[in-house]
């Protein structure tokens, strides 16, 4: 295939990808220094319709450092129908951090495990991964560096870091071998790209990209998600309605509410001062009082510090991207608070029960949820998961009261009545969710909500206790 034919076929395949919008493609180039990566990507971008491509060469960013590591890549995952090109990407981060001993051997292996999980999640959501390692021998690299440095038109390409990478050639070669071996997978294969002149390398990259565009997608191997070790006292809905005492009178409620909110305000200020990110996820039965509880929490907070995210049916933009993107993009910066009214647990609750996700998808969701939450915790964040529960009779009373009250009717939908018909299916899904996701650092707090006043105070208490425990451990 000559160059012109390759270019036209590649453009046709890209336009078909953009037209069909069934999958996205990620092309990642990493490897040794001064191997024409930047020049090849520039030329490739001119071959392609660059309105459907996006190129990323990431450096340090204070905004990204204030969030969990994988946030910087999740927010750049291309939409279905687009091609994302990463120079070094997550592999460069791991490779050079290990070469410079900023990652210990154990931390390096942990990062490779995270990469495997990330790429499996992308592949399961229809992202095609093409990973190219650029090779060059040490002597050839030195000759190329010297030639570049002596050419006034190209000397700008050589700096201290390029010579540093040359000095680390043997180390990078050894680490790269481990990196490739440990992250090779049918859905995320590696190809090695020997050093040649830029035109030859462009042809090789173009052929590899064309093959990826034209080949059928390779899903990740169907494996059961590892079940994390459970914490003692895993919640169960059978216990939720057990201990609601007599209903709390208004005077006592208002006094305790004011105290709880004052305590929360102080804790939130300290969280902001220490730059600790906080995520609060609210799940629960319909009409259990999530909105009222969230309002009591936010009333104690500075509006500049928090954001409430109401998670409903995905938008067209969210449907064009992998499932996890809509949650990763909403993670708070250090010192901020994100409150989720419904959350990523919709995959194993409403999407499961209502058949909006296949069994393979919601079962895989447990592993994806675990990976998401562990990344938040590894970054030093606080994760507070609250499930607000009411019994079936109380739910019916609240539905009927909403239907009879003009200013509350908008809260009651046909979907609420339909969900109620599947009460037992939801109960089973909820209990399995507790059993599989109640783990150290990400424990569930089960709040009995038949008495709204006691429930709101219990929510404040749980949030305060978790924040205070985190603040105490950080001293």
3-state secondary structure the chain: CCHHHHHHHHHHHHHHHHHHCCCEEEEEEEECCCCCHHHHHHHHHHHCCHHHEEEECCCCCHHHHCCCCCHHHHCCCCCCCCEEEEECHHHHHHHHHHHCCCCCHHHHHHHHHHHHHHHHHHHHCCEEEEEEEECCCHHHHHHHHHHHHHCCCCHHHCCHHHHHHHHCHHHHHHHHHHHHHHHCECCECEEEECCCCHHHHHHHHHHHHHHHHHCCCCCCCCCCCCCCCCCCCCCCHHHCCCCCCCCCCHHHHHHHHHHHHHHHHHHHHHHHHCCCCEEEEEEECCCCCHHHHHHHHHCCCCCCCEEEEECCCCCHHHHCCCCCHHHHCCCCCCCCEEEEECCHHHHHCHHHHCCCCCHHHHHHHHHHHHHHHHHHHHCCCEEEEEEEECCHHHHHHHHHHHHHCHHHHHHCCHHHHHHHHCHHHHHHHHHHHHHHHCECCECEEEEECCCHHHHHHHHHHHHHHHHHHHHHHCC
What percentage of residues in the chain have a pLDDT greater than 70?
A: 95
For residues 328 and 460, give the distance between their C-alpha atoms in angstroms, rounded to a whole number.
Answer: 25
CA-based nearest residue to 122, from 382, 364, 417, 413 = 364
CA dihedral 400, 404, 405, 409 (to 10 degrees): 70
For residues 44 and 390, give the distance between their C-alpha atoms in angstroms, rounded to a whole number.
Answer: 58
Tokens 């210990």 belong to 104
Is residue 337 within 8 A of residue 467, CB to CB? The reply is: no
Please check the confidence at residue 320 and state whether its pLDDT lies above 70.
Answer: yes
Rounded to two decimals, the pTM is: 0.90
Computed over every residue of the chain, the mean pLDDT equals 92
Per-residue pLDDT band at 226 (split at 50, 70, 90): low
Average pLDDT over residues 219-231: 57
Residue 280 phi, psi dihedral angles, 5° rounding: -120, 120
Using alpha carbons, list the distances in angstroms from residue 447 to 241, 294, 450. 9, 13, 9
Using alpha carbons, list the distances in angstroms from residue 309 to 13, 124, 281, 327, 342. 38, 26, 10, 10, 8
Please check the confidence at residue 472 and state whether its pLDDT lies above 60.
Answer: yes
Cβ neighbours for 178, distance < 8 A, ≥ 6 positions apart: none
Please check the confidence at residue 225 and state whether its pLDDT lies above 70.
Answer: no
For residues 271 and 174, give the distance between their C-alpha atoms in angstroms, rounded to a whole number.
Answer: 42
For residues 24 and 126, give the distance between their C-alpha atoms in angstroms, rounded to a whole number.
Answer: 7
Average pLDDT over residues 428-443: 96
Using alpha carbons, list the distances in angstroms from residue 454 to 247, 248, 443, 461. 8, 7, 21, 10
Please check the confidence at residue 352 and state whether its pLDDT lies above 90.
Answer: yes
Residue 185, token pair as written in the block: 């997978």
Least-confidence region, from 241-255, 264-278, 286-300: 241-255
Please check the confidence at residue 264 and state whether its pLDDT lies above 60.
Answer: yes
Is residue 36 within 8 A of residue 194, CB to CB? The reply is: no
Cβ neighbours for 356, distance < 8 A, ≥ 6 positions apart: 350
Please check the confidence at residue 238 and state whether its pLDDT lies above 70.
Answer: no
Res 54: pLDDT? 96
For residues 117 and 39, give the distance between their C-alpha atoms in angstroms, rounded to a whole number.
Answer: 31
CA-based nearest residue to 283, from 245, 253, 240, 233 = 240
Q: How large is the angle between the packed helices 250-273 and 452-473, nearest 10 degrees? A: 30
Least-confidence region, from 116-130, 180-194, 316-330, 390-404: 390-404
Res 398: pLDDT? 87
Please check the confidence at residue 242 and state whether its pLDDT lies above 60.
Answer: no
Is residue 318 within 8 A of residue 325, CB to CB? The reply is: yes
User: 419 or 118: which carries more pLDDT confidence?
Assistant: 118
Neighbours of 412 (CB within 10 A): 18
Residue 105, token pair as written in the block: 């051997």
User: 472 or 233: which carries more pLDDT confidence?
Assistant: 472
Res 61: pLDDT? 86
Res 244: pLDDT? 52
Average pLDDT over residues 139-165: 92
Per-residue pLDDT band at 224 (split at 50, 70, 90): very low
For residues 299 and 252, give the distance between their C-alpha atoms in angstroms, rounded to a whole number.
Answer: 19
Average pLDDT over residues 88-102: 96
């Amino acid at each position: 295939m000559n160059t012109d034919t390759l270019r036209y076929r590649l453009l046709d395949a890209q336009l078909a990808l953009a037209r069909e919008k069934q999958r996205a493609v990620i092309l990642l180039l990493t490897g040794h220094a001064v191997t024409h990566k930047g020049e090849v990507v520039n030329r490739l971008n001119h071959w392609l319709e660059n309105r459907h491509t996006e190129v990323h060469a990431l450096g340090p960013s204070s905004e990204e450092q204030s969030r969990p590591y994988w946030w910087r890549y999740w927010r750049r995952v291309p939409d279905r129908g687009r091609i994302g090109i990463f120079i070094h990407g997550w592999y460069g981060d791991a490779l050079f951090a290990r070469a410079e001993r900023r990652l210990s051997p154990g931390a390096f292996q942990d990062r490779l495990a995270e990469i495997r999980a990330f790429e499996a999640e992308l592949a399961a959501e229809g992202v095609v991964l093409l990973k190219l390692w650029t090779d060059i021998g040490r002597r050839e690299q030195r000759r190329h560096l010297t030639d570049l440095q002596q050419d006034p038109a190209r000397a700008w390409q050589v700096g201290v870091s390029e010579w540093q990478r040359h000095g680390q050639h043997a180390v990078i070669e050894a680490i790269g071998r481990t990196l490739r071996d440990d992250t090779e997978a049918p859905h995320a294969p590696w190809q090695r790209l020997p050093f040649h002149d830029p035109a030859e390398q462009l042809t090789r990259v173009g052929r590899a990209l064309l093959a990826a565009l034209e080949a059928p997608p390779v899903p990740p191997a169907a494996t059961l998600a590892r079940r994390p070790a459970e914490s003692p006292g895993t919640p169960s809905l059978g216990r939720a309605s057990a201990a609601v005492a007599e209903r709390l009178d208004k005077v006592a409620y208002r006094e305790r509410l004011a105290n709880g909110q004052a305590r929360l305000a102080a804790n939130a200020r300290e969280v902001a001062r220490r730059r600790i990110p906080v995520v609060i996820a609210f799940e629960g039965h319909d009409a259990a009082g999530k909105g009222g509880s969230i309002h009591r929490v936010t009333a104690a907070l500075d509006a500049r510090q928090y954001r409430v995210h109401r998670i409903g049916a995905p938008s067209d933009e969210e449907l064009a991207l992998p499932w996890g993107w809509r949650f990763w993009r909403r993670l708070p910066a250090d010192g901020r608070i994100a409150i989720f009214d419904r959350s990523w647990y919709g995959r194993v609750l409403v999407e499961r029960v209502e058949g909006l996700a296949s069994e393979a998808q919601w079962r895989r969701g447990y592993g994806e949820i675990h990976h998401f939450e562990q990344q938040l915790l590894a970054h030093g964040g606080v994760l507070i998961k609250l499930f607000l529960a009411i019994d079936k009779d109380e739910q019916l009373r609240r539905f009927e009261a909403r239907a009879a009250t003009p200013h509350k009717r908008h809260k009651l939908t046909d979907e609420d009545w339909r969900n109620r018909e599947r009460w037992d299916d939801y109960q089973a899904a909820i209990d399995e969710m507790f059993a599989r996701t109640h783990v150290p650092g990400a424990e569930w707090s089960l709040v009995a909500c038949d008495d709204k006043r006691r429930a709101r105070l219990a929510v404040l208490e749980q949030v305060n206790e978790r924040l205070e425990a985190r603040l105490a451990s950080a001293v």
